[in-house]
Amino acid sequence: MSLFACDFNDRFVDRLPADQQSDNFCRTVNGVAYSFVSPKVTQSPTLIALNHTLAQQLTLATDDPQAIARVLTGNELLPNTRPYAMCYGGHQFGHWAGQLGDGRAINLGQLATPELGLQTLQLKGAGPTPYSRTADGLAVLRSSIREYLCSEAMFHLGVPTTRALSLCLTGDKVVRDMFYDGRPQQELGAVVCRVSSSFMRFGSFQLPAVRGDIKLLNQLVDYAITEDFPHLGQPCKDTYIQWFREISERTCQLIVEWMRVGFVHGVMNTDNMSIIGETIDYGPYGWIDNFDLSWTPNTTDAKGKRYCFGAQPQIAQWNLFQLANAIYPLIEQAEPLNEILTNYAKMYESRWLEMMKDKLGLAQLEPQSDGELFVQLEQVLSECNIDMTIFYRLLASYIPGKSQIESHFLPCFYQDEPTKAMYWPRFEYWISLYCQRLENNSLDDDERARVMNRVNPKFVLRNYLAQQAIELAEQGDYSMIEQLQQVLANPYQEQDGFEHFGAKRPGWAMHKAGCSMLSCSS
């Protein structure tokens, strides 16, 4: 059978060395880019959500949900597909972890689509691989829903990301200890089919470099340039430098976009950093409700806060430094790599200022004075416990001299009325500074609002909304998944009947599991 009108053309498999050991068991794998592996056969695969727009772009026939479920859980393999798991390493929480690899992701193959070009279909949660270590290679419904919804939410927000094609139940139960507290439970097993032009990570190059396997390192870098950066020309030392520069630029822009919409990845290990600058591996992520630069959604990171919201730009630079170390043997020149790493900080500051200019609806940037205004705003948002998403939308509709400050902005505050005297003067003072700045703004109020509402979303995938969808789905009700898909497909638009999806985090969700912080358990 064939579900796709286009053909599989797996250049990753054809052009890079394969593991010659055919048995699927956990082991150290040397000198290869991937291992062939078969997905786990499950009891009763069932399709519960499909991205119809992406399916059309991938030429997927959507008239047979059962066939889709069988193929996109790995229960049935299509002709000319040779499933495999990728081999890579990485730094986890700042420490070298050695070989990691696709422990629960299995690539079906690369699909040569007429509209999107070569796209890899990857099944997350499809069973064990040689890189699963002590895990079972499976995924549960709660984490799979979060990945499925978040991938598409990010795409429609304009943030580079892997895509999500489908969400399927496997029919099997999976044992997970959600909080690592010695209370494992059986949960519903699920598989997400995610899609990208490349699933190569920083760690793909780190592992052979650490092992001293320069031949494999060279093969991987040349493949990445040829397939994903062909505009750079034929691989050579100068091309390698240009390649690293572009990875740095893409990574910088990715982090700017995360900061723009209030997204916190939660686990920015080098094996979770895409070389093409996409958001990859949606684990314990979260969206900022009340603005807090020190907030992390990851329980594992609760004390160290290495991957908190405000640290993401610096961590990205640290990760780039590790990638530079990995490719140095191919270049043998430290100066150009150091220059790129140094320029990252300058580039981020410049792009962050431009991003904030747009968020505040300013026609032109006055770098020094506006930079001070932006930093003061972040301080005010944090000190006054303000909902970031709602604040920026209210600011867009605020008209100096006409809108009443208190009644206009009250909906974005989380504080109770008795604490008002502590925060209100600080907030009101910043608004006065903003109004002064608008006196020198060439945009009128309507134009300013349009500019702001193009970059400040009305709807994001708030953690409590995802958790509500999960709890319904675990009872067999998938309606909220469908509703959130619909709403998040137009995140910058007001949507009648769905206003509640743009509401503040309710009080009950502040400390509820899945709504505030999450573990890596999935």
Counting DSSP H helices and E strands in the chain, the numbers are 16, 12
CA-based nearest residue to 263, from 238, 229, 287, 227: 287
- The token pair that represents 109 in the structure block: 């193959």
Say whether pLDDT at 280 is over 90: yes
DSSP annotation string for 215-251:
HHHHHHHHHHHHHH-GGG-S-SHHHHHHHHHHHHHHH
Say whether pLDDT at 114 is over 80: yes
pTM of the model: 0.97
User: What does pLDDT average to over the chain?
Assistant: 95
Say whether pLDDT at 171 is over 80: yes
CA-based nearest residue to 12, from 126, 133, 112: 112
Predicted local distance difference test score (pLDDT) of residue 176? 86
- pLDDT tens across 51-76, in order? 999 999 999 999 999 999 999 999 99
Say whether pLDDT at 418 is over 60: no
Predicted local distance difference test score (pLDDT) of residue 181? 64
CA-based nearest residue to 280, from 155, 389, 156: 155
CB 271 within 8 A of CB 192: no
- The token pair that represents 265 in the structure block: 């990845």
Predicted local distance difference test score (pLDDT) of residue 179? 61
SS3 367: helix
Indicate which residue of 10, 19, 102, 271 is catalytic. 271
What 3 state SS string does 141-175 have? HHHHHHHHHHHHHHHHHCCCECEEEEEEEEEEEEE
Q: Average pLDDT in the 348-375 region?
A: 96
Q: What are the residue boundaries of the structural domains of the chain, listed by start?
A: 11-199, 203-357, 366-455, 463-509
H helical segments located in 360-444:
367-383, 388-397, 405-409, 420-438
Does 271 participate in catalysis according to the annotation? yes
Q: What angle do CA 163, 136, 464 make, to 5 degrees?
A: 50
